[in-house]
């Protein structure tokens, strides 16, 4: 299960938008509404399947499309060193 690298990042949420700082490089990342929702759910310890289910209910998008989007987001965040995978 992917998880936030708490020792590598600082993050905050303001007005529904999540901003993340990668401490080692000083790079900032700002997520759109869906990315922010994924990040918050990861921070709360939800599994990928739970995140997809939650977003499906929230956005009314087909589960298959959300699964692709969520997995793509997670892969990008792992590559950026913001998330780790067990």
Find the helix or strand (DSSP H, E) in which 55 lies. Answer: helix 48-59
Average pLDDT score over residue span 11-25: 96
Domain that holds residue 52: 2-85
Mean pLDDT of the chain: 95
What is the pTM (predicted TM-score) of this model? 0.93
Average pLDDT score over residue span 60-84: 95
Predicted pLDDT of residue 86: 72
Q: 20, 54, 22: which is closest to 37 by C-alpha?
A: 54
Q: List pLDDT tens digits, range 75-84.
A: 999 999 999 9
Average pLDDT score over residue span 35-51: 96
Is the pLDDT at 22 greater than 80? The verdict is: yes
Q: How many domains does the chain have?
A: 1
| CATH number where 24 lies | 3.90.930
Predicted pLDDT of residue 33: 93
Is the pLDDT at 1 greater than 90? The verdict is: no
């Amino acid at each position: 299960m992917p998880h936030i690298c708490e020792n590598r990042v600082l993050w905050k949420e303001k007005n529904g938008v999540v901003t993340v700082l990668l401490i080692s490089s000083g790079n900032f990342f700002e997520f759109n509404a869906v990315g922010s929702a994924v990040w918050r759910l990861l921070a709360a310890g939800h599994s990928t399947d739970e995140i997809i289910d939650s977003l499906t209910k929230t956005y009314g998008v087909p589960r298959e499309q959300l699964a692709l989007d969520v997995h793509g987001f997670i892969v990008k965040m792992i590559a950026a060193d913001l998330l780790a995978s067990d």
